[in-house]
Amino acid sequence: MIEGTLGAALAATRVLPVVVLSDAAEGAPLTAALAAGGLPVVEITLRTTGALDGLAAAVSKVPTALVGAGTVTDALAATAAIDAGARFLVSPGYDDGVVEVGRANDVPVLPGVATATELMRARAAGFDIVKLFPAAFLGGAAAVAALAAAFPGVGFVPTGGVDATTAADYLAHPQVLAVGGSWMLDRAMVAARDWEQVRSAAAVAAALGVAS
């Protein structure tokens, strides 16, 4: 499965920064700072009007990073993200259209699940790596442990409410490939275009993955 390449990248970095751009101009320098700090796999969410342009700039200007699109909720968004250069797609839930577009274009998809039923659906479609969302509100590391016990062959990427304090708890579980979050992206720091501070914060976050 093409998702294996994404899984390997996530297992290597263990922390997936979830980026919400307020301005397309932030895309490339923000991604470069994250990569320089040790977080080269970056999810740029499609939550703002400048997201696609920012993603395209990051892909073209930061070749050392693996840049994907997040909050991909339907086939139309998936197509637009791939056209912008997204190397992978992340969805908050499971959508057949997103999966079909991703696989038709050989672009890995990380589908979101919140229940055992949704996880079974993802497995039936051939996925063995899923995003658990919103992880903190589903029970945190305990929820991961409960699902992992029932599905020992599945790798999890908990996202949603994960922060510097709880990341290590998730990463301690052997079935957690990586955690996703935005805690290393202080909005004031980004608004000030203080890319060195972003790099420094990314390095601290990256160290959580190394230490786990």
**Catalytic residue (one of 26, 43, 61, 118):** 43
Report how far residue 24's alpha carbon sits from residue 162's, in angstroms, rounded to the nearest whole number: 25
Long-range contacts of 67-70 (CB under 8 A, 24+ apart): 67/31, 67/42, 68/6, 68/41, 68/42, 68/43, 68/44, 68/108, 68/110, 69/43, 69/44, 69/45, 70/18, 70/19, 70/43, 70/44, 70/45, 70/46
**Which residues, in sequence order, are bridge partners of residue 69?**
44, 89
What is the DSSP-derived secondary structure letter of residue 176?
B
Quote the CA–CA distance of 149 and 145 in Å, as a whole number: 6
Q: For this structure, is 3 an active site residue?
A: no
CA-based end-to-end distance of the chain = 27
Say whether 131 is catalytic: yes
| Residues pairing with 17 in the sheet | 181
26, 118, 131, 196: the active-site residue? 131
Catalytic residues: 43, 131
